[in-house]
Amino acid sequence: MMRATYGLEQARAQLPRRAAEARAWHTSAITRHREPMAAVVPISFLRAQQAGRIRKGGIVALRGTGRDRWPEGAGRTIADMREAWQT
């Protein structure tokens, strides 16, 4: 459960304070137009969540985590290289 909720601008203006709270094991939600959009949590909590997902689903649990990290057309380039290696 979230300890506190902050609007986006308020959280941005008070980011060092929110980070210090997270380090002290307090969580908070950040909202935009009253809709939750992010959470500030201790990093160890996040790592534990990710480790649990990986243990449950193996490498497939990581699917999609690199989305939008590659330049446009990279998939086609890789496919072309694979075809070239197979010949």
The count of domains in the chain is: 1
Residues 62 and 37 sit within 8 Å (Cβ to Cβ): no
- pLDDT tens string 30-66: 999 999 999 998 888 888 877 776 667 666 666 676 7
- Contact (Cβ atoms closer than 8 angstroms) between residue 32 and residue 5: no
Q: Rounded CA gap, 44 and 30, in Å?
A: 19
Domain span at residue 41? 4-86
How large a percentage of the chain has pLDDT more than 90?
33
Give the domain CATH number at 36: 3.40.1620.10
- The partner residues of 67 in beta bridges, in order of sequence, read none
Read off the pTM.
0.54
Mean pLDDT of 65-87: 80
